Structure 1
Amino acid sequence: MRAFVITGPGRAEVRDVPPPEARPGEVVVDVERAGVCGTDVEFFSGAMSYLHTGQARYPMRIGHEWSGTVAAVGAGVEAAWVGRRVTGDTMLGCGHCHRCTTGRQHVCADRYEIGVRNGRPGALAEQLAVPVKALQILPDSVDPALGALVEPGGNALRAVRAAALPPGGRLLVLGPGTIGLLAGQIAAAGGAEVHLLGRGGTALEFAASIGFARAWTAETLPELPWDAVIDASNSAALPALAAELVEPGRRVVYVGLASVPSPVDSRALVLKDVTAVGVLSASGGFAGTVELFAAGAVDPRPLIAATVGLDDVAAVLAGERHPSWGSGPKIHVSPNGEGLAS
């Protein structure tokens, strides 16, 4: 089968590789859509921290946001899974440590992360092997594009849940990228008053075009009481700003990651009695996200700027954008497709 392989910083190619086999407890999925995110860009550039800690190494096959159809099952898996449309969790715990047995498999010290950690091949390929326990069934109303947005949506849903907004509360989201926009959409669907903070330019213009009327820069941000602040940015400065802006006795949620340390003064938390929550992964957020997408309560399709083939992924990771593409932050890949598609 064809698969996208990063061979070193700034180097990648599409290779013919052996197709995966469904080992006991696993299925093989025909991948229909896969998303490309900032983590993938960091792997391509060589900046991703896992490359420097030994948790990832080249050559590697990326892709952890995906949807597809089960094509084969391994021993111990019911044959009824064949033909089901699915997506799945990225985080694969060992299953027997204390963290895994207490519902925290996504922070298992020995976990694999599909397309990210410890050599587990990712979804930028025609097929993907996945443990059946990681699968989430997709209803007919969630098409392949929506299915590949469930994983980032799960991150956003967990962030909104962690914000613990009061009814009708006011939320400030820092960073109008994919996760930030999804968090804003999910919070708005729950009745929150949502504000976005960005650097201006195309990103905020796009946010306004999909219904975010309250999109600000640092210079225009109004002085309002923020019932929660979600930092979905990659800025090292914004985590501290989140703690500064949030109302006393409320919550800040950190779901974005900077490439360098992003210090927060604990006095800003303690003296305001603020709760700070970190969110790693969509684990625990898949079912809820599928429900929101299936019901039409949240429609993230406008976030997809384009869908491309495997041969175009290296250019995407290098930051190239075709003039015909939309302004959304997300690029999807059709592993069985050829060439650029709008």
Structure 2
Amino acid sequence: MRAFVVTGPGVAGVSEVPEPVAAPGEVVVDVERAGVCGTDVEFFTGEMQYLAEGHARYPMRLGHEWCGTVSAAGAGVDRAWLGRRVTGDTMLGCGRCRSCLGGHQHVCAQRQEVGIRGGRHGALAEQLAVPVTSVHELPAGLDPALGALVEPGGNAFRAARAAAGERVLVLGPGTIGLLTALFLRAAGSEVHLAGTTPWSVEFACSLGFAAGTAPPPLPFDAVVDATGDPASPAHAVELVQPAGRVVYIGLAGEPSPVDTRNLVLKDITAVGILSASPGLRATIDAYAAGEVDPRPLVAATVGLADVAAVLAGQRPPGATAGPKIHVDPRT
């Protein structure tokens, strides 16, 4: 089959690789749509910390935001899964440790991450194999763009739930920030966004949000940091009202100092969001019910041969203003 393979920093392309075989407890999925994420960009450039820590190494097959149809099932898997359209969890715990047994496999120290960590191949390919315990069935007829937005949406759903308040500020109107804003608005919050680039602010405004290049002088019950700016976490604490909440879902490439005296003296609750895992089912339900529709975020859908250019920062011809690029591996 065809797969997008990164062999080193800035070196990648489409290769012919063996088709996956479903091991016991696994299914093979024919990939219908996959998303390109900032994490994929960091692996392409060689900046991803997992490479330095030994959790990942080249060659790599990226892609952890996906949907598709189950085409094969390994031993011990109910054959009823065959033909079902599914999406899947990125985080695959060991199943034996305290975290996994407590229902928190997404923070298992020995976890694999699809297309990211532990050698588990990703979805920028015609097929991928995943544990059946990690897949979630999609409702019939759900747009494949929505199916491939479930994983980032699950992260955003958790951030929105943690930040729920009457008035919320989201720092960073990228994919995750905008998804978080959509979930917050669906829950009834007054949402404001602040970004550093005029085009991202303009796009947020096109979705009906109040947005600008600087936060408005308003009291905020919660602030969500969805940026990669190392100064932003401390700024979020400054912006939130006393007794409010700050939610951290963005990650900087260097340490982000926060003065804990400000947390204590303002009685602030700080929450970190790592994974979509606990929010996947709720996200699917919200998309299926039409409560949240993030499809305008998808600027273009390209083929596998175009992925390297996208990871290098090129916008596909005809792309709209949205921040997300999708891939149809069949083309």
TM-score normalised by length of structure 2: 0.99
Counterpart in the other structure of 1:8: 8
C-alpha separation between the residues in 1 aligned to 2:317 and 2:22? 41
C-alpha separation between the residues in 1 aligned to 2:68 and 2:208? 30
Q: Residue 27 of structure 1 contacts residue 129 of structure 1 at CA under 8 Å; is this kept in 2?
A: yes
Deviation, structure 1 residue 323: 4.0
Deviation, structure 1 residue 191: 0.5
Deviation, structure 1 residue 163: 1.4
C-alpha separation between the residues in 2 aligned to 1:198 and 1:192? 19
Counterpart in the other structure of 1:75: 75
Q: How many equivalent residue pairs?
A: 331
Unpaired runs of at least 5, structure 2: none
Q: Residue 34 of structure 2 contacts residue 65 of structure 2 at CA under 8 Å; is this kept in 1?
A: yes
The alignment yields a C-alpha RMSD, in angstroms, of 0.8
The answer to whether the aligner puts 1:129 opposite 2:129 as a matched pair is: yes
Counterpart in the other structure of 2:293: 299
Deviation, structure 1 residue 141: 4.1
The answer to whether the aligner puts 1:215 opposite 2:211 as a matched pair is: yes
Counterpart in the other structure of 2:163: 163
The answer to whether the aligner puts 1:258 opposite 2:252 as a matched pair is: yes
The answer to whether the aligner puts 1:197 opposite 2:177 as a matched pair is: no
4+ residue stretches of structure 1 with deviation over 3 A? none
Q: Residue 157 of structure 2 contacts residue 180 of structure 2 at CA under 8 Å; is this kept in 1?
A: yes
AA paired with 1:253?
V
Q: Residue 198 of structure 2 contacts residue 213 of structure 2 at CA under 8 Å; is this kept in 1?
A: no
Deviations 1:129-177 (A, max 9, x none): 0101101110024221100000000000000111142xxx001000000
C-alpha separation between the residues in 1 aligned to 2:272 and 2:299? 28
Deviation, structure 1 residue 268: 1.2
Counterpart in the other structure of 1:271: 265
Deviation, structure 1 residue 208: 0.9
Query: How does 1:142-153 map onto structure 2 within 5 Å?
Result: 142-153=142-153
C-alpha separation between the residues in 2 aligned to 1:192 and 1:322? 34
Counterpart in the other structure of 2:275: 281
Q: Residue 233 of structure 1 contacts residue 256 of structure 1 at CA under 8 Å; is this kept in 2?
A: yes
Deviation, structure 1 residue 202: 0.7
C-alpha separation between the residues in 2 aligned to 1:164 and 1:306? 31
Counterpart in the other structure of 1:176: 173
Deviation, structure 1 residue 103: 0.9
AA paired with 2:212?
W
* SS of aligned partner of 1:21: coil
C-alpha separation between the residues in 1 aligned to 2:34 and 2:273? 22
Q: Residue 7 of structure 2 contacts residue 59 of structure 2 at CA under 8 Å; is this kept in 1?
A: yes
The answer to whether the aligner puts 1:236 opposite 2:230 as a matched pair is: yes
Deviation, structure 1 residue 200: 3.4
C-alpha separation between the residues in 1 aligned to 2:141 and 2:191? 27
Identical amino acids, percent of aligned pairs:
68
Counterpart in the other structure of 1:340: none
Q: Residue 164 of structure 2 contacts residue 189 of structure 2 at CA under 8 Å; is this kept in 1?
A: no
Q: Residue 6 of structure 1 contacts residue 12 of structure 1 at CA under 8 Å; is this kept in 2?
A: yes
Deviation, structure 1 residue 22: 0.6
